[in-house]
Structure formats: structure tokens, C-alpha cells
Amino acid sequence: MTARSELETFIGAIRFFTRLPIPDKLGHSPLALERAIRYFPASGLIVGGIAALAFVLSSFFWPKTLAVLAAIAVAIMLTGAIHEDGWTDMVDGFGGGWEKERILAIMRDSCVGSFGAVALVILLLARFFALVEIDPWQVPVALIAGHAVSRLCATFVLSALDYARPEGKAKAFSNRLGYGELVFATLTALLPLFWLSPRQFIPGLVLALIATVWLARMFKREIGGYTGDCLGATQQLAEVAFYCGLLCRFS
């Protein structure tokens, strides 16, 4: 694989997973998009890094609560709320459907139902309050790590399950990751953890993993695999679970 093709793969991941302006002259390759999932955690590093910067800059002018809110808002803007949309669609589908076809139909509906609306409010509140409770000097690292680790969790779901639809936006990523690609994604996601103590990041990883396994088992049982909404939902729940794990106290 040449350096140019690898760059195209990375650019494809940034184009798909964020709203960052990427010049057209950098090129676009459908084949590169198929391989881009290994850069999903890397896109989390970028989103989390920019959100962390927003928190730091906001902290010079506003109290911590508003700085956290600014960081969350910036992250949502950077992704176009694609993962939050996946969370609401997934909750609506699994909350209102009783069989595979009905669940998939509800998730494809662009309207947000009562299940999804309530779940989104709870998720956003949990993310906000968890970040507010983290020590101010650790919030930037928590944001970077949370966005990277949660995207790794979604990558695990994609790697372990089959795609549940005959077509869809996430169909491009339906090819299983090779061992080397999965290792690369894992190492990328774990990089920020060096700035956290094991007493913090181990509970965070455990809770994120529990959330991921629980969702993956539900996806497999109810629809026989995953959809793009399922990946977004996994990222969202795993991110909040990671932040909550950082707050665990054992003494």
C-alpha cells in the first residue's frame, strides 16, 4: 500500500466521520472509504482534540459548566450529530419494533419518536454531568480519550457482526477488519490513556466494554447484525460509559 493510498484512506475517514472541510484536490476513492474504518478512532482523536481545545479556551472566559457545554457543542458540530442521530434512531427502533423488519423500518424513518427524544436528553445530560464532575485539568484528556475509545468500541461491533441491511451508508464498511487493522485501531484509541492513571482509565474501559457487549448482543439477537445507526449508538453510549468510569471511586 502506497503512502498516497493510505492518505486517501485517512482523508476518506475524516470526510465520512466529520464535517471538517477537506479540499476536493486531496481526492476521493470509494475503495479508500471501504478501508477507512481503521481510522475511526483516529477521527475520534481529532474530534476530541478540537473539543478539548474548545474547553480550554472557554475556560479562560466562562465557568467550567459553560466550558463543558461548549466542548460538547463543538464535538456535535464537528460530526454533524451523526452519532447522536444514530442513538435516537436505534432507541426508537428497538423501543418501538418487535421484529427485525419493523425495527429496521423505524430506524430508517427520519422522524424522532418519543423513545429517541427522551433517550437523547438523558444521554446528553449524562455526558454533561459526567464531564463537569471530572477534575478541570483532566477534562481535555478525558474528551480526547472518550471520543477515541468510544469509536474503537463501534469498530469492535462492526468487526464482530454482519451488516443487517442489504444496503445503506455503513455498507461500505461491512468488510471485516484484518488483525493488523484492528490492532492499529486499538493502539490509536489507547494513546490518550497514557495521560490518565490506571485507576481511572481501567474502570472507564470496563464500563465502555460492558456497554458495547450489551448493545452488540442486542443487535445480534434482534436484527442479526448492525446498521450505521447501531454503530452511532454504540459510540454514544460507550463514550458516556467511559466518562462515568473515570469517576468511579473505590476508596
Q: Find the helix or strand (DSSP H, E) in which 193 lies.
A: none
Tens digit of each residue's pLDDT (9 = 90 or more) over 127-152 = 999 999 999 999 999 999 999 999 99
Q: Find the helix or strand (DSSP H, E) in which 54 lies.
A: helix 40-59
pTM: 0.92
CB neighbourhood size of 10 (10 A):
18
**Helix 228-246 with 114-133: angle, nearest 10 deg:** 30
Tens digit of each residue's pLDDT (9 = 90 or more) over 147-193 = 999 999 999 999 999 998 776 555 555 566 788 889 999 999 999 99
Domain ranges of the chain: 43-246
- In terms of Cα–Cα distance, which of 233, 238, 237 is closest to 219? 233
Task: Give me 89's grid cell.
Answer: 434512531
Tens digit of each residue's pLDDT (9 = 90 or more) over 87-110 = 999 999 999 888 899 999 999 887
Q: Count Cα atoms within 13 angstroms, Cβ side, for 202.
A: 5
CA distance 15 to 21: 8
* The predicted structure's pLDDT at residue 18: 87
Tens digit of each residue's pLDDT (9 = 90 or more) over 63-95 = 999 999 999 999 999 999 999 999 999 999 999
Task: Give me 220's grid cell.
Answer: 445480534
